[in-house]
Structure 1
Amino acid sequence: MTHTPHQKTVPGARQERPRPSAPPELDYTGRRHRRAMEDAGLLDMARRIPAALGQTARLAWSVDRRMVIAILTCQLLSGVGTAVMLAAVAAAMRHLFSAADAGTALRAAWPALVVAAVAQAAGSAAWIGADWATRRLNPKIASAADLTIVDLHMRAELSAYDAEGFKDRSQAAETGALRAVDLADDAKTLTNAFVQLLSAASVLTVLHPLLLGVLLLSVVPRGMGGVIAARIDYRVHDRTVSARSVRGMMRWWLTTAELADELRANTMREYLHFWYRTMCDRVEGKELAGAGPYLRVTAVAAALSGFFVLGMWASLGALVLGGGMALAAAGTAIVASQTAGRALNAIVRYGAVMFHHGLYLSDYHAFLDEVRAMTLDRGTATVRAPRAIHLDEAEFTYPHKAAPALHKLSLTLERGEVVALVGENGAGKSTLVRLITGLTLATSGSVRWDGTDLAGADPESVWRHVGLVPQQNGHWPLAARENITLGRQTEFGDARVWQAAEQVGMGDALRALPDGLDTLLARSVWGGHELSGGQWQRLACARALHRSPGLLILDEPTSEMDARGEHLIFRALREMAKDRITLVVTHRLDNVKMADRIIVLDQGRIREEGTFDSLVSQPGSLLAELYALSQDR
């Protein structure tokens, strides 16, 4: 047996802590365009760019037609200015190189030089005009793209959120919406480059077709280098996107006040700092690794491009020396070739960028089509506040699930009664709430408010009679008043707001706020104020009560409240019960004693139903078992 000596401890010596394990390498492989940039060649890019231009143009046209027309007009004028400038330069060159003396040459050339200067200035002014119009258009494109996504999310059936990969496609669409603004700028630059190239190429072709061919050859290496460099950039982006995404989430967790107590009290700072620094190092390392290849590619492309540029100058010199081109024409060719070269470089560069952005814009449009097909489109029947809700063999199965979340279930809820819904986690309580409120339609069977099947009802008319307090209620960054009314005003004004607040015990807390009902409830915003967890729950209950709904549903409404708040809520429920159907979902079984009827769900089925006393006295009662467990805590 081998003896391992104990490590000696030197008094006063600093003990080195064991290094924590590094976070795992993350690589999200499900991205739709993961290898699109890697596999793209010049022809692939050339094929996709018109589609990206078309999508951008349609989006811009739908937002502000006047600005689109202004951009196109300014770009056309800029191209005309370039063509006129080059023609005027050619005319001036002939005078400058043919006159006997400088004075005569300048006198003969100055009208053409003035025309060239005016044309250049007009072209520059037109470009400034296009830039101004784009700056006016971009915010509108950004808002329109963002609002469209948000609006469709709010109007989509809840089943859309349950579709496999919905969140991933939603995030890709949001990326496309952000890229739409970049695409508008890139499209402006790209189309302007085409106009400038056409103007300069026309002049070069008139002077000598050979010059245009050599110029194109000089740009090909730079274009290929641009594509390869774009691939390197994209590869670095692709390989770091996971680390950057998780690092961004972690940064919020490390800096938000919501987690500051836990971070400090549990001495998490040292490890989390190490974790965050590791992610930073990984991103930094991959970006630095891409710098060398990028430099080599761009250097080789520039060298080859320079070689062909020298060839163009040599061709020009040979034409002049051989008498195939006048010296004046050669001077014009130099100016035209520089203009055309800049335009070609811009076409290659922004073509690659538009190809990349266009992939995400395609995601945006594909997602919009998907969600539009899943927006609320049920029926037109208008319903009133229900006197009774009937479920007849109602069943619901989530997409891609084999077993139903709710099996065929028949149930009636009547106005004036308070019903408690009880069951273990996963029993189907939240799904049943969705069916009763029309948030989700049954996959088989029916749910009827009085005599109207919710499958044929206008959903907005249904929800006008619903007051819902979900488990996760919104801490809306709005004023206290709007957190109760959410914009729904009544003829009673603030009196109704205060009544709802008093019913849930929030009156004194709201009066104590710096600006009363006008206080912004968002501590992260300057001048905002924050509530405790229990106060937010009370406010959510006040929001539901303010609506005076025909159907009131409270899902774990008092989980963060103290005993006083809990007592006030349930007292208010009893006092208001006669005017509505009230359904309470809770795990705190002492509260169910106040219900007129208790429904116990178990694995998507109604296991038992009755009053508290009758159920807890039944042999084998699940409610009795759960209640006994709650009393042992």
Structure 2
Amino acid sequence: MKWPRVGGPRPAASPGVTPDVAPGGTPALPAARPANPQPSAPAELDYNGRKHRKAMEHATLWDMARRIPTALAQTARLAWSVDRRMTITVLLCQLLSGLGTAVMLTAVSKALPELATSDAREGLAAAWPALVVAVVAMAVGAGMWILADWATRRLNPKIAAAADLTLVDLHMRAELSAYDTPGFTDRSQAAEIGALRAVDIADDAKTLTNGVVQLVSAATVLTSLHPLLLGVLLLSVIPRGLGGVIAARIDYRVHDRTISARNVRGMMRWWLTTPELADELRANTMRPYLHSWYRDMCRRVVGRELEGARPYLFVTLLAAFLAGVFTLGMWASLAALALSGSMSTAIAGTAIVASQTAGRALNSIVRYGAVMFHHGLYLSDYYTFIDEVRSMTTSRGTTQVRAPQRIRLEEAAFTYPDRAAPALHPINLTLNRGEVVALVGENGAGKSTLIRMLTGLTVPTGGTVHWDDTDLAATDAESAWRHVGLVPQKNGHWPLRARENITLGQPREHSDGLIWDAAERVGMSHVLKGLPDQLDTLLARSVWGGHELSGGQWQRLACARAMYREPAVLVLDEPTSEMDARGEHLIFRELREMAPDRITVVVTHRLDNVRMADRVIVLEHGRIREEGTFDALVAAEGSLLGELYALARDR
């Protein structure tokens, strides 16, 4: 089907429809749209697929208590792996801080009876050694806390960097088939959350463990003063603990109800402010609607956060009231013990000080225990995913493969893990050095899968792929990839200097002469020479001082990168889809000139370019339907290539 020519006859109006005509018989332009259309409210969004959805709300106190030690152990493992000295420093400081609290309370219990004597001067003279010990113990405890905080601040960035580096490195070393396993992306995102939360997890663990140490110290001192005081302490602090847990659940419920809206709002904010979409946003008058949408989303988040304020206030007041009642009960019990002579007034005072210390410690335990429980879920995901990906990293064999003279596929097939039908049925194919082979086929025909197999990016699920006499399934994959140059459909716009964008991944030392030669061969030398710093110009407009290239220029740069490698196997997948005619002609001319020294495979939907190939392989539904020269296939009756070429010419 041919498109109507510009200025050709208009289609007739439908019966009963009168076209708009301006005075004088000239067709009227369509009426402009309203300047401020009333937008519909944003859709309700809910990430029901999140793995740990409502984890806090559904967890019992026992679940939290059981999970927290695991989270602490995993945090300690991560900290130990990045800086053992700082990890030991934090642990020792925590213990010394708790010891300081115990010594301080013990010293206070010894000083108070002396101060309670009738002669204040004699009492102070007798109590001052104990008071000095108490002050020193407090100072040591405070100093240990500061030192632990310093050590944690040194640990945090190292932990975050180590977690992130491990995750990124394993992703880059994983077999491509790993990405095709069901749920891989979801597990990867959960692990990434765990890596991101590693920034704060050491700090939270430090505060939590400090609370535990302080609580144990205070409880130990109280028990030594009078066994009954431990029970009284629990009665006074349990209401605050339960209130803290319930309040944490309310906070989490608000967080859970708004996470979808906040995530989408954050993504939309990037789209609204990035220069990449500024033209489209303005020219298509999207601003009123999108601004209204963003404002409504902000109101929704704020409204749901405000909804949690009332129950939070109620729970906090109730917990404070009960804690006050039990605290009064504790004081009454202490008074009764003192009046009965079972406990001195000084010891009762020490008990009050210890209970206040224990209360503050318990608040820290509850608050940071809830945080650590949630962190621990994602940290477990991180370690589980790390172990999974380690088992899926590329490790096929130790045989070093040389640049091939011939690539042979023998009954090679591939089926993706989550699909019943093969992406590529068993095929037999030979590619020889010196020839240019074009792969043609409709979308989903299996072209990309075939490229992955012949370059060793993917091992076939059936049959074999040989480079000369070497089976790629038993070779060191990196040794094969050193001989490959690949220009994929989606190439990286790497935020690096122009120089690195051409030399990226090259094992040899870089020469500016060779770099400029590669740029010249793809028609990019004049563009690079026009940049402020030429090869040293940063190609990232979003960074201060950086510059951006057009889509076609990025494709030319990707081709220059592949040509600079001088690979034995050169594969180009739609390499000129965004180029102008001059650039496209230049690239295919260079491919033809480079062909004698390598195996060249080109995937393209622009069938006029297929003429330059020595051989055309037409794929259909994962099978080779036809193979031969371009002219022979186009002339053959019933040829799929002939059909596709005719359709392309009729456009």
Report TM bin, short chain: over 0.9
Q: Please state whether the residue corresponding to 1:358 is helix, strand or coil.
A: helix
Q: Please state whether the residue corresponding to 1:549 is helix, strand or coil.
A: coil
The verdict on how the C-alpha distance between 1:16 and 1:375 changes in structure 2, with shifts beyond 3 A counting, is closer
Counterpart of 2:38? 19
Q: How big is each residue's C-alpha offset from its partner over 1:179-200, in whole Å with a ceiling of 9 and x where there is no partner?
A: 2232211211111112112221
Range moving further from structure 2, 24-33 or 154-163? 24-33
Counterpart of 1:338? 356
Counterpart of 1:567? 585
Q: What's the TM-score once normalised by structure 1's chain length?
A: 0.95
Preserved CA contact (<8 Å) 2:408 2:429: yes
Counterpart of 2:114? 95
C-alpha separation between the residues in 2 aligned to 1:567 and 1:19? Answer: 49
| Offset of residue 563 of structure 1 | 1.6
* Structure 2 residue 61 is matched with structure 1 residue 42: yes
Counterpart of 1:74? 93
Counterpart of 1:280 (choices 298, 309, 313) is: 298
Query: Residue type of the partner of 2:364?
Result: A
Q: Please state whether the residue corresponding to 1:410 is helix, strand or coil.
A: strand
Counterpart of 1:233? 251
Preserved CA contact (<8 Å) 1:176 1:364: yes
Q: Which runs of 5+ in 2 are unaligned?
A: 1-32
Counterpart of 2:29? none
| Offset of residue 101 of structure 1 | 2.0
C-alpha separation between the residues in 1 aligned to 2:282 and 2:639? Answer: 45
1:330-369 to 2 correspondences below 5 Å: 330-369=348-387
| Offset of residue 613 of structure 1 | 0.9
Query: Residue type of the partner of 1:214?
Result: V
1:376-415 to 2 correspondences below 5 Å: 376-415=394-433
Counterpart of 1:484? 502
1:130-145 to 2 correspondences below 5 Å: 130-145=148-163
Q: Please state whether the residue corresponding to 2:428 is helix, strand or coil.
A: strand
C-alpha separation between the residues in 2 aligned to 1:263 and 1:430? Answer: 34
Task: Give runs of ≥4 in structure 1 deviating > 6 Å.
Answer: 14-17
| Offset of residue 65 of structure 1 | 0.9
| Offset of residue 629 of structure 1 | 1.5
Counterpart of 2:27? none
Preserved CA contact (<8 Å) 1:389 1:414: yes
C-alpha separation between the residues in 2 aligned to 1:219 and 1:336? Answer: 12
Range moving further from structure 2, 483-492 or 329-338? 483-492
C-alpha separation between the residues in 1 aligned to 2:519 and 2:617? Answer: 30
Q: How big is each residue's C-alpha offset from its partner over 1:353-380, in whole Å with a ceiling of 9 and x where there is no partner?
A: 1111111111111111221121112111
C-alpha separation between the residues in 1 aligned to 2:353 and 2:239? Answer: 21
Query: Residue type of the partner of 1:120?
Result: M
Range moving further from structure 2, 501-510 or 468-477? 501-510
Counterpart of 2:25? none
Counterpart of 2:79 (choices 39, 47, 60) is: 60
Counterpart of 1:251 (choices 269, 272, 291) is: 269
1:295-306 to 2 correspondences below 5 Å: 295-306=313-324
Preserved CA contact (<8 Å) 1:86 1:336: yes
Counterpart of 1:11? none
| Offset of residue 492 of structure 1 | 5.5
C-alpha separation between the residues in 2 aligned to 1:447 and 1:194? Answer: 60
Range moving further from structure 2, 24-33 or 549-558? 24-33
Preserved CA contact (<8 Å) 1:419 1:595: yes
Counterpart of 1:7? none
Preserved CA contact (<8 Å) 1:552 1:583: yes
C-alpha separation between the residues in 1 aligned to 2:532 and 2:170? Answer: 37
Counterpart of 2:466? 448
| Offset of residue 487 of structure 1 | 5.0
Preserved CA contact (<8 Å) 1:41 1:227: no
Query: Residue type of the partner of 1:28?
Result: Y
Counterpart of 1:192 (choices 210, 219, 224) is: 210
Preserved CA contact (<8 Å) 1:170 1:367: yes
Counterpart of 2:633? 615
Counterpart of 1:169? 187
| Offset of residue 216 of structure 1 | 0.9
C-alpha separation between the residues in 1 aligned to 2:386 and 2:614? Answer: 46
* Structure 2 residue 329 is matched with structure 1 residue 307: no
Counterpart of 2:15? none
C-alpha separation between the residues in 1 aligned to 2:36 and 2:601? Answer: 55
C-alpha separation between the residues in 1 aligned to 2:180 and 2:282? Answer: 37
Preserved CA contact (<8 Å) 2:38 2:289: no
Q: What's the TM-score once normalised by structure 2's chain length?
A: 0.93
How many residues are aligned here? 619
Cα RMSD (Å) of the superposition? 1.5
C-alpha separation between the residues in 1 aligned to 2:396 and 2:536? Answer: 38
| Offset of residue 490 of structure 1 | 2.8
Counterpart of 1:551? 569
The verdict on how the C-alpha distance between 1:489 and 1:397 changes in structure 2, with shifts beyond 3 A counting, is closer
| Offset of residue 17 of structure 1 | 6.2
* Structure 2 residue 227 is matched with structure 1 residue 209: yes
Range moving further from structure 2, 240-249 or 454-463? 240-249
* Structure 2 residue 488 is matched with structure 1 residue 475: no
Q: Please state whether the residue corresponding to 2:458 is helix, strand or coil.
A: coil
Counterpart of 1:129? 147
The verdict on how the C-alpha distance between 1:391 and 1:489 changes in structure 2, with shifts beyond 3 A counting, is closer
Query: Residue type of the partner of 1:65?
Result: R
Counterpart of 2:544 (choices 492, 509, 526) is: 526
Preserved CA contact (<8 Å) 2:97 2:140: yes
Q: Please state whether the residue corresponding to 1:420 is helix, strand or coil.
A: strand
| Offset of residue 16 of structure 1 | 9.8
C-alpha separation between the residues in 2 aligned to 1:230 and 1:178? Answer: 21
Preserved CA contact (<8 Å) 1:226 1:348: yes
* Structure 2 residue 465 is matched with structure 1 residue 430: no
What is the identity percentage for the equivalent residue pairs of Structure 1 and Structure 2? 76
Counterpart of 1:6? none
Range moving further from structure 2, 505-514 or 489-498? 489-498
| Offset of residue 519 of structure 1 | 0.7
The verdict on how the C-alpha distance between 1:17 and 1:309 changes in structure 2, with shifts beyond 3 A counting, is same
C-alpha separation between the residues in 1 aligned to 2:344 and 2:438? Answer: 97
Q: Which runs of 5+ in 1 are unaligned?
A: 1-13
Preserved CA contact (<8 Å) 2:439 2:603: yes
Preserved CA contact (<8 Å) 1:215 1:308: no
C-alpha separation between the residues in 1 aligned to 2:457 and 2:297? Answer: 41
Range moving further from structure 2, 324-333 or 503-512? 324-333
Query: Residue type of the partner of 2:96?
Result: L
Counterpart of 1:371? 389
C-alpha separation between the residues in 2 aligned to 1:343 and 1:577? Answer: 74
Q: Please state whether the residue corresponding to 1:270 is helix, strand or coil.
A: helix
| Offset of residue 451 of structure 1 | 0.8
* Structure 2 residue 480 is matched with structure 1 residue 462: yes
Counterpart of 2:13? none
Q: How big is each residue's C-alpha offset from its partner over 1:98-145, in whole Å with a ceiling of 9 and x where there is no partner?
A: 2x3222222222222122111111111011111111111111110111
Q: Please state whether the residue corresponding to 1:439 is helix, strand or coil.
A: coil
C-alpha separation between the residues in 2 aligned to 1:22 and 1:90? Answer: 65
| Offset of residue 399 of structure 1 | 1.2
Q: Please state whether the residue corresponding to 1:104 is helix, strand or coil.
A: helix
Range moving further from structure 2, 409-418 or 110-119? 110-119
C-alpha separation between the residues in 1 aligned to 2:246 and 2:354? Answer: 28
Query: Residue type of the partner of 2:277?
Result: L
Query: Residue type of the partner of 1:78?
Result: S
Range moving further from structure 2, 103-112 or 261-270? 103-112
Counterpart of 2:594 (choices 557, 567, 576) is: 576
